[in-house]
Structure 1
Amino acid sequence: MNAPPQPIALPANQPSQFYRGGAAIAELRGATTDTAYGPEDWVASTTTRFGSETEGLTRLPDGRWLRDAVRADPLGWLGARHVESFADSTALLVKLLDAGQRLPVHFHPDDDFARGHFDSHVGKAEAWIVVGTRSADATVYTGFRGTTSRDVIAQWVREQDAPAMLSALNAVPVRPGDTVHIPAGLPHAIGEGVFVVELQQPTDFSLTLEWRDFLADPDTAHLGLGFDTALDALDTSGWDRERLSTLIRHTGEEPGHTVDLLAEGARPFFRADQLCPDPALALDASFAVLVVLEGEGTLSTERGGRQPLRRGDTLVVPYAAGQLELSGPLTVIRCRPPRPAS
């Protein structure tokens, strides 16, 4: 079955999580929520939760999993150049993440570690686009402030010394428009009240240093590897202010109808830009995930399709939709896979 030539609006897809949140997602979407543990909305997901067959996958309106639809017609969904570089993988996972409490200190493996230990072609680099905060002192935590001994870290893990773990990290104040690239291996946590659009490599590999009061047991934290092995994937180096600045951008005041949101180091993994048409903006053909943050407008395709848009909408755009035109007083985040090799 060929990929539909039109963008597809998607409902919320919120697999259960171990931490609180979700109110900001519900407010953005104009919905109500009946659970305090719906803090992640997996948008256009072809990725499952670790250890699950289907949890986390996006189901299309016609009843198919998006994963299966893409595999059935990778050229239509992704385009020939993408398929040459990434086969039938979308090479992207997008989430809306609303931290109703501080997340635990954790990290993710890189591609080499994931190949060796999880039989996966890719690990899990990620990036955060801050789209909302609920306090003036909203904070994220990223990278050790100074090079830290593996023995010290192992002791923190054994004793579950959360204050020591957190104080060892850089505390970074954030506001809407700030973006943070999190390379694989970098220890990090998102603070309470921070709402982000999150781009990731399409896996669910999280290695959690601070598991007590969050996860049921340490086996869940190290994904069955044991902490001695898991710590091989951890970046224990120090990130001073200058080095940290290579991960962070402040885009809230940047002018322009198209604003490139992420730090240069994120480009091999994913792309994201903010689109503000005035009155219209042309977009090249590409597989993409769109998140409408503000306003109302229209997404038109070169084949004559017209998709109304409003705040809170999320859409998956197949390559086969061709060139697009975005019009209206809108603010849209466009998330895309990395640029295929030339």
Structure 2
Amino acid sequence: MSDAEGLRPVQLPANQPDRFYRGGAAIAALRGDEPPKEFGPEDWVASCTTFHGDPGHGLTTLPEGDLLRDAVAAHPANWLGDAHVAAFGADSALLVKLLDAGQRLPVHCHPSNEFAKAHYGSRYGKTEAWIIVGAAETSTVHIGFAREQSADTVADWVARQDADAMLGALNPVTVRAGDTVFVPAGVPHAIGAGVFIVELQQPTDLSVTLEWRNFLDDEAGGHLGIGFDTALGCVDRQGWADRLDELVHRDERPAAVTELFGQPEFFRAERLRAGAALDASFGVLVVLDGTGVLRTEKAGEVPLRKGATFVLPHAVGESTLDGDVIAVRCLPPTP
């Protein structure tokens, strides 16, 4: 039996392509690997998604050498299940990353499905969500404008590359391990240095980088080739100061299965402990702590350890989790 057939869980090595910002040490520590290169802050787990404009980077290679994207295309029912294939085709409809911010990320946002289709020729925009895995006491994310901003004001900040004004206009939120943050398309945000997350997102690499100077090579990288006059049309300029509880949640219930996001049209996530009973689904499993065993209906037992990441095919059937283990299962949108 080949890993590519989608008949058993597959443990994945790190997949850390070069990025424009520093980080990666926390990923290495979780996995028990040697520290990576300085600019390896993202591990694209079970990725069928490439960099925007660069189809040679981002894809996950299975241990036997096949690209996961090609394996899913060849055996979609095994990997994804019939209902998912009927809704989304041979497309996982999900990208998961481990992201370790070794420095503050720039102020940026992501287009909606509608904007991405109209201006970037993409089926998906990029709504995303973060599960905070590690953070220092003062680690901060900045999310959403505190008060409503005019289109002219935002355009002026971007034209002058006024980083202080852009960052200062956002809501600063101190985060800790166990918190979750939902980031709707369009909402501007910046992850602070020292924040380590499991990130779920729609499967694109589309970012409108308002604060491009000192991060990207040129302005075109900020608007992805369509000009800021057009690109800034995707920015959510609403005030979020009084509605942050819609985005940020602090919840560490010790249940066997804890649902983390109520956003099934984009993705789903579960925090898992011993005794978790899992339905059959394509998914990405990230083991955050401890050791245990995943007992699958059709593919036997899979040993788990801290730092391991797996892609789980639908064809393995229902599963249960045993042992002294904490994990996160990331799932595609509901068909």
Is the contact made by 1:3 and 1:318 (CA closer than 8 Å) also made in structure 2? no
Number of the residue aligned with 1:276: 273
Is the contact made by 2:24 and 2:36 (CA closer than 8 Å) also made in structure 1? no
Question: 2 CA distance for matches of 1:25 and 1:255?
Answer: 24
The aligned amino acid for 2:260 is L
CA change 1:224–1:30 in 2 (3 A) is same
Whether 1:319 aligns to 2:296 is: no
Is the contact made by 1:293 and 1:332 (CA closer than 8 Å) also made in structure 2? yes
Deviates more, 1:29-38 or 1:214-223: 29-38
Question: 2 CA distance for matches of 1:33 and 1:192?
Answer: 17
Query: Which ranges of 4 or more aligned residues in structure 1 deviate by more than 4 Å?
Result: none
Number of the residue aligned with 1:229: 230
Is the contact made by 1:169 and 1:188 (CA closer than 8 Å) also made in structure 2? yes
Number of the residue aligned with 1:58: 60
Q: Report how many residues are paired.
A: 333
Q: CA RMSD in A?
A: 1.2
The aligned amino acid for 2:180 is T
Is the contact made by 2:6 and 2:71 (CA closer than 8 Å) also made in structure 1? no
Number of the residue aligned with 1:153: 154
Number of the residue aligned with 1:193: 194
Question: 2 CA distance for matches of 1:86 and 1:55?
Answer: 23
Question: 2 CA distance for matches of 1:208 and 1:79?
Answer: 36
Scaled by the length of structure 2, the TM-score of the pair is 0.97
Matched ranges for 1:184-223 at <5 A: 184-223=185-224
Match among 59, 65, 81 for residue 79 of structure 1: 81
Structure 2 portions without partners, runs of 5+: none
Question: 1 CA distance for matches of 2:64 and 2:132?
Answer: 32
Number of the residue aligned with 1:250: 250
Scaled by the length of structure 1, the TM-score of the pair is 0.95
Deviates more, 1:18-27 or 1:46-55: 46-55
The aligned amino acid for 1:177 is G
Matched ranges for 1:15-94 at <5 A: 15-94=17-96
CA change 1:210–1:324 in 2 (3 A) is same
Question: 2 CA distance for matches of 1:223 and 1:153?
Answer: 18
Measured after TM superposition, the shift of residue 304 of structure 1 is 4.8
SS in 2 for 1:166: helix
For residues 140-173 of structure 1, the C-alpha deviation after alignment (integer angstroms, 9 at most, x for no partner) is 0111011101111111111111000001000011
Question: 2 CA distance for matches of 1:172 and 1:304?
Answer: 43
Question: 2 CA distance for matches of 1:220 and 1:284?
Answer: 41
Measured after TM superposition, the shift of residue 102 of structure 1 is 0.4
Is the contact made by 1:3 and 1:320 (CA closer than 8 Å) also made in structure 2? no
Number of the residue aligned with 2:121: 119
SS in 2 for 1:245: helix
For residues 246-293 of structure 1, the C-alpha deviation after alignment (integer angstroms, 9 at most, x for no partner) is 1121123x131111112x3x331000010011xx33211100100000
Is the contact made by 1:293 and 1:311 (CA closer than 8 Å) also made in structure 2? yes
Deviates more, 1:329-338 or 1:300-309: 300-309
Is the contact made by 2:133 and 2:198 (CA closer than 8 Å) also made in structure 1? yes
Question: 1 CA distance for matches of 2:38 and 2:116?
Answer: 31
Number of the residue aligned with 1:260: 259
Question: 1 CA distance for matches of 2:298 and 2:92?
Answer: 23
Measured after TM superposition, the shift of residue 4 of structure 1 is 3.0
Structure 1 portions without partners, runs of 5+: none
Whether 1:333 aligns to 2:332 is: no
For residues 206-257 of structure 1, the C-alpha deviation after alignment (integer angstroms, 9 at most, x for no partner) is 110001110110001110010000001111111122x2211121123x1311
Measured after TM superposition, the shift of residue 33 of structure 1 is 1.9
